[in-house]
Structure 1
Amino acid sequence: MNDRRQPVLGILGGGQLARMLALAAAPLGVRALVVDSAADACAGQVAELVKADWTDYAALEAFAGQVDVVTFDFENVPADTAHWLAKRVAVFPAPRALAVAQDRLAEKTLFRECGLQTPDFKAIDTRAELDEALALIGAPAILKTRRLGYDGKGQFRIRSLADADAAWAALGAQASAHGLILEAFVPFERELSVIAVRGRHGEFRTWPLTQNWHTDGVLSLSLAPAPDVGALQDRATELARTLAEKLDYVGVFALELFVKNGELLGNEMAPRVHNSGHWTIEGAVTSQFENHVRAVIGLPLGDTSARGLSAMFNWIGELPDADPVLEAVDAHWHDYGKQPRPGRKVGHATVCAPNASVLMERLGGIAHALGRDQQVDAALRAVAK
């Protein structure tokens, strides 16, 4: 008789990433226990859910006693909570990685320390400092909150110096609490991301580079492997490895990159499984979710090779009609079980194919039905190069 105890993975945050982590954990014999402040968090549909705030230390104490390791569903879990838990149970990635990724200034500084160039940037705490930074960096530029910003939130694009007053009116109130950062606008050629994973004993792997398209600052379409990347794949892997080792990182993370004049510029790091890696569920030998569970539990990492080509559509606000996807060959539908709401990620779909010509045919057949003609045309042009 096998009396091996089932490992328990604790997940802070109960959104769709926790949901997909829990689904990936089950076949590995790992049970997920999720903590979220919302009783209806969608991960609770597939895993046990504990309703608690991040400062409810009595509930977190009980949670820590029930799990073998803790990980994150999203990066805005307070670093203080992560540090508190790390004194009681293994926490991966380490709270330091979470803290760095929560602060855009610390993040950009770390990128440069690791040899990853970034757009010019400057910390902003006062209205006068904004004027000084604009004089140095110029316009266009983007004023951002240093903390609590993601999916295009907490940002204001300054198209000319005349926009400085409007930018400060929009974000200046947050300067005293968390600080702001001004970043030079990058006229990039395309956006890429590298999804990487590092195990508890230093084993490191990356998935093929992914090309991404955004709408209103939110990811809407990903294509993987990104076409025509050449040496950028090796460079992205090298940078991700350097970053992971510097942070002693354990688990999956994403590095969002701009391509300009054939060189990579660092945009942001996400210390968790990432939207642009959802294609790996059906399109890679081992998904980002399975490998994250493997990494934090201490299991060997799985193969990150792509099975072919994949295009992932992100559903924002509400789900479209599923039939065009469900009727397509090798197409996969994911409903997160969330109520529709403007700006909310409610699901995704992935279309897979063995080669570029077949992917072009399959995408062309569903693009109009999905209302994504323009973005699919951009992806098809990229594939056709």
Structure 2
Amino acid sequence: MAAFPLPPGSVIGILGGGQLGRMLAQAAARLGFDAAILEREHDAPAGRVAARVIEGAYDDPDALARLAEVAGVVTYEFENVPAASVERLVSLGAEVAPGPRALAVAQDRFEEKTFLNANGAPTVAFAAANTPDEAIAAVTSIGAPALMKTRREGYDGKGQRWVEHAADAARIFAGLGSVPVIVEAPAEFVRELSVIAARGRDGSTAVYPLAENHHEQGILRRSLAPAHASPALTEQAERIARRVLQGLEYVGVIGIELFELKDGRLLVNEIAPRVHNTGHWTQDGCEVDQFEQHIRAVAGWPLGPTAATARVEMLNLLGDEVDGWKKFASEAETRIHLYGKREAKPGRKMGHVNKVKPLR
């Protein structure tokens, strides 16, 4: 078992080789750590910037054993890592952060909202359904229109459908694969916000300024940060973030998506136990960005300051939008972050840019 804080030269293990793993590996390198990526694809974005790559599936026992052997701590870049893989790493003596509890809560939307409500983080009304009849009953109870989502997996708008009438619930349940679902009441929100927060091994917390987010077809298009927010709204978001972090006994960075209602209340939409797309603005707008903060936290280092140093508009580059890199490179206020993916597909996140302006 590793002793914390980990000294420079230690190995940070990362499950997943996509863009978040890539940026985590880059942050680890800045702090003097070596990143070891476990990934199925030998040419994954993170693998090309990491000190070493362990090729294998996330549930490959041999690959997990090799990762546990070399890493002082293991983290993950996305929440759909098999829970059994984390349990396997722990059984091998590896330290995993965030821990299994955070993963279990985030992997099941019903468990997630139940946890949030129990820890003083309000959400929309919701109900679970496992059969067509239960789906009809859930929509009838919640009231139509309602949003039906698969309890597990699904991201960027996938795995969810609106139910306009209770009579449609059974058909939509079947269309989602006849798997367990959660039915949610709609949120009458004025805007979508998010807060990125971190908790260290010593229980200390650090919260970033709010970001205002705009989605298209379920995919984040841009974030504006720091969002214009009253002190009361900011305090409310920070209180929610700290309750979530403490309730999970969390270690690392977490993303919390929020709805701001007309009356100024905040509801939690969902949590992500990892660095988050809506926190990419911190790379060029904060003293310590979310990626370095996550590495600091899991390695047992002191958390860094989260104050904003600039106002940032973060734009996701989807598909062939990445071909506009020459234009972005010519703009003095624009910082480019490309993920090194070999093929641009429609809707695929190929990179992002941060347009930086002075704070005022």
- Specify the alignment match of 1:329 in structure 2: 332
CA–CA distance in structure 2, aligned partners of residues 143 and 287 of structure 1: 35
- Is 1:257 the counterpart of 2:258 in the alignment? yes
- Specify the alignment match of 2:350 in structure 1: 346
- Specify the alignment match of 1:180 in structure 2: 181
CA–CA distance in structure 1, aligned partners of residues 229 and 300 of structure 2: 35
- Specify the alignment match of 1:105 in structure 2: 110
AA of the residue aligned to 1:9: I
Percent identity at matched positions? 47
Q: Higher helix fraction: Structure 1 or Structure 2?
A: 1
Q: Secondary structure at the match of 1:240?
A: helix
Q: What's the offset of the Cα at 1:305?
A: 0.5
- Specify the alignment match of 2:298 in structure 1: 296
- Specify the alignment match of 2:75 in structure 1: 71
CA–CA distance in structure 2, aligned partners of residues 62 and 327 of structure 1: 44
Unaligned ranges ≥5, structure 2: 1-6
Q: Secondary structure at the match of 1:269?
A: strand
TM value normalised by structure 1: 0.88
User: 8 Å contact 1:11–1:71 — kept in the other structure?
Assistant: yes
CA–CA distance in structure 1, aligned partners of residues 149 and 348 of structure 2: 21
Q: Which runs of 4+ in 1 moved over 3 A?
A: 160-163
CA–CA distance in structure 1, aligned partners of residues 310 and 354 of structure 2: 12
Matches within 5 A, 1:194-273: 194-260=195-261, 261-273=263-275
99-108 or 325-334, larger mean C-alpha shift? 325-334
Q: What's the offset of the Cα at 1:135?
A: 1.1
User: 8 Å contact 2:8–2:32 — kept in the other structure?
Assistant: no
- Specify the alignment match of 1:360 in structure 2: none
- Specify the alignment match of 1:45 in structure 2: 48
Q: What's the offset of the Cα at 1:320?
A: 4.1
Q: Secondary structure at the match of 1:219?
A: strand
User: 8 Å contact 2:59–2:84 — kept in the other structure?
Assistant: no
AA of the residue aligned to 1:233: T
Deviation per residue, 1:188-216 (Å, 9 max, x gap): 11000000011111110010000000011
Q: What's the offset of the Cα at 1:157?
A: 1.4
- Specify the alignment match of 2:312 in structure 1: 310
Unaligned ranges ≥5, structure 1: 357-385
AA of the residue aligned to 2:47: G
- Specify the alignment match of 2:26 in structure 1: 23
Q: Secondary structure at the match of 1:231?
A: helix
CA–CA distance in structure 1, aligned partners of residues 130 and 269 of structure 2: 21
User: 8 Å contact 1:15–1:42 — kept in the other structure?
Assistant: yes
AA of the residue aligned to 1:132: A
Match of 2:163 among 150, 158, 163: 158
Matches within 5 A, 1:49-64: 49-64=53-68
CA–CA distance in structure 1, aligned partners of residues 132 and 230 of structure 2: 41
User: 8 Å contact 2:132–2:174 — kept in the other structure?
Assistant: no
TM value normalised by structure 2: 0.94
CA–CA distance in structure 2, aligned partners of residues 59 and 228 of structure 1: 46
The number of equivalent residue pairs is: 349
User: 8 Å contact 1:127–1:172 — kept in the other structure?
Assistant: no
CA–CA distance in structure 1, aligned partners of residues 113 and 267 of structure 2: 10
Q: What's the offset of the Cα at 1:325?
A: 2.1
CA–CA distance in structure 2, aligned partners of residues 222 and 163 of structure 1: 35
Match of 1:134 among 139, 144, 147: 139
CA–CA distance in structure 2, aligned partners of residues 22 and 172 of structure 1: 36
User: CA RMSD for the aligned pairs?
Assistant: 1.4
- Specify the alignment match of 1:370 in structure 2: none
CA–CA distance in structure 2, aligned partners of residues 20 and 278 of structure 1: 10
Matches within 5 A, 1:115-134: 115-134=120-139
Task: Pick closer, same or farther for the CA change 1:125–1:165 going to 2, 3 Å.
Answer: closer
Q: What's the offset of the Cα at 1:11?
A: 0.1
- Specify the alignment match of 1:363 in structure 2: none
